[in-house]
Amino acid sequence: MRVRMTYPRLTITVLLLTWIISLSYLTSSEVLDTPEGCNTNLDLLFIVDSSESVLDHDPVGEEGLSWSCIKNFTKGLVARLPVGSNTRVAAIRFGSRAEVVFHLNHHTSNLGAVNSLMSMRHMGGNTNTAAAFRQARLRVFNGDNGARASARNVVVFIGDGISNKEVQHTEQEIRFIKDPSRSEAEVFAVGISKEIMDSELKKMSSFPAEKHFLHAPHLDYLPQIQDLLLYRICQIPDPVIPTKEPDCRFPECKICNDVECFVCLDGKYLLNGKCEDCIANCQLCSDSINCERCIRGWYWEPETGKCEECQLIADLALVIDNSGSIRDKNPEDKSYDNYHLLKQFVAKLLDRVDIGVNATRVGAIKFSSMSQLVFQLDAYDQRDVIKQAILNMGYSGGHTNISGALRMMREQLFARQSGDRPDVGNVGLVITDGESTVDKNLTDVEADLAKRSGITLFVVGVTDEINEEELKSMASKPVDDHYFNSTDIRTLDELLHSLTIQVCAQKSLMVP
């Protein structure tokens, strides 16, 4: 027997049903304008939870309302995209099994795509999220079915995030769909109801989760996040979304109705319709023990379960191995990509550092047989932009020329014309999976020159095939504080806590 949630009937009747009726039929005159500046070169896939649990969120006496709301939500997005021009749309529904409703090359207009979305029947059964993402990878993002190499692959998943079939394969299939060597899809997850499994949905979401995971605690909140999701799919700044009541009577509440709060202000989280305090130094959280974003100058540390302080102000050079040995060690089944995992590790480290024009500046070099300056210290001043630049770095292959990378770091990156500041210290982070194979005799020489010029060198060795003696000699002293090693690239994240502590301790490098 399903347990049904009860909501204020006035809110459902006036706000939600009006929205459904107004969107039930779409004519050519109702196709809305695409937001200005929208990147519409999309292969867009909707993965829609059609399991039995979706109907658990129906208000009493409103059978099937949840399913109608979900379909209308997808309809409102498609109505504002140029389907058949730059944008192609596909849909998958899933319960115990997954089914492609229509492929990317099926519809050439908004009207046709919307008609198919609105005709979807509810399936019922269990929640097999793994099967849905498998169908997306194998059938939808497939050139034979309309997928384009030149288009961005975007997935919008809508559901409660509670998998109960093929659970052991869920995380793997989600990882596959985001893998750059496979579909390389950007995944947005929309959670419906208060009882969502937000941990699963946040893992499903692309990085950063706070931009790719959206939560509709009630069905009548879906229309409000429609614009927000559309703008993020379009890669343009978020719109200003008004509250339903300009003078919300609940303290510290951002969006509410006349009975309860739906979205809290920063530093608060929603619990039973009321706003409660996040843990200390946390700006954005979803419960009383976890933090999604700490206040500036602090970062979330899973190992300690709290926000930790990082006062690093430095010019930081990321020197990243791009040689052939990185992907030579990829597994035969292609279940993961070493180079992508390495870049993700760097992005996660950047989440822990206060980045800005007057805080820490970041530049990057990638190296193989030759070195390449990816971006200078003054190129970007926003964390998300820097992380995306790291994640977008292409792969070169070739030999391992560490000395050349160190020379470029010292001579070109830590230079006034590249944004280097004379009044802050210089920190270099070298990440490599092996040992020098080009100008090996110069590696120690260049490392010593870098350290003598005032650069603090951190070295991270990946895999058990490194030349540990060479890497330790590169690192600043004391070596135990500046050299780190992970024998398996899949466990690289385990170094984050200890590495962050040492990097953040470099606040003493501020030059008077």
CATH of the domain at 464: 3.40.50.410
Single-letter residue type at 482? H
- Name the residue among 434, 438, 441, 424 with its Cα closest to residue 462: 434
Greater confidence, 210 or 58? 210
Strand-pairing partners, residue 300, are 307
Q: What is the DSSP string of 384-445?
A: HHHHHHHHT-----S---HHHHHHHIIIIISSGGGT--TTSEEEEEEEESS---SSGGGHHH
Residues 44 and 189 in one domain: yes
Greater confidence, 510 or 235? 235
Residues 258 and 331 in one domain: no
Q: How confident is the model at residue 336 (pLDDT cuts 50, 70, 90)?
A: confident
Q: Which residue has the tokens 């207009």?
A: 109
Q: Which helix (H) or strand (E) holds 171?
A: helix 167-178
pLDDT at 332 (0 to 100): 84
State how beta strands 314-321 and 425-432 pair.
parallel
Q: What predicted TM-score, i.e. pTM, was given to this entire model? A: 0.55
Number of structural domains the chain divides into: 3
State how beta strands 293-294 and 282-284 pair.
antiparallel
Residues 198 and 339 in one domain: no
Residue 240 clears pLDDT 80, i.e. is over it: no
Q: Mean per-residue pLDDT for 331-359? A: 88
Residue 320 lies in a domain: yes
Q: How confident is the model at residue 191 (pLDDT cuts 50, 70, 90)?
A: confident
Q: Which of 181, 213, 241 is the last residue of a domain?
A: 241
Residues 223 and 281 in one domain: no
CA 433/CA 263 separation, integer angstroms: 45
Residues 255 and 237 in one domain: no
Range of the domain at 325: 314-509
Give the SS3 label for residue 312: coil
Residues 228 and 260 in one domain: no
Residue 298 lies in a domain: no
Residue 219 clears pLDDT 70, i.e. is over it: no
- Name the residue among 156, 152, 183 with its Cα closest to residue 88: 152
DSSP 8-state class, residue 498: H
Residues 360 and 223 in one domain: no
Q: Mean per-residue pLDDT for 144-172? A: 88
- Name the residue among 493, 126, 147 with its Cα closest to residue 345: 493
Residues 101 and 162 in one domain: yes
Residue 229 lies in a domain: yes
> Between the CA atoms of 139, 140, 145 and 150, what dihedral angle is there, to the nearest 10 degrees?
-130
Q: How confident is the model at residue 248 (pLDDT cuts 50, 70, 90)?
A: low
Residue 304 lies in a domain: no
Strand-pairing partners, residue 92, are 47, 100
Q: Mean per-residue pLDDT for 290-303? A: 85
Q: Mean per-residue pLDDT for 222-244? A: 75
Q: Which helix (H) or strand (E) holds 69?
A: helix 65-78
Residues 6+ apart with CB under 8 A from 11: 218, 220, 257, 258, 259
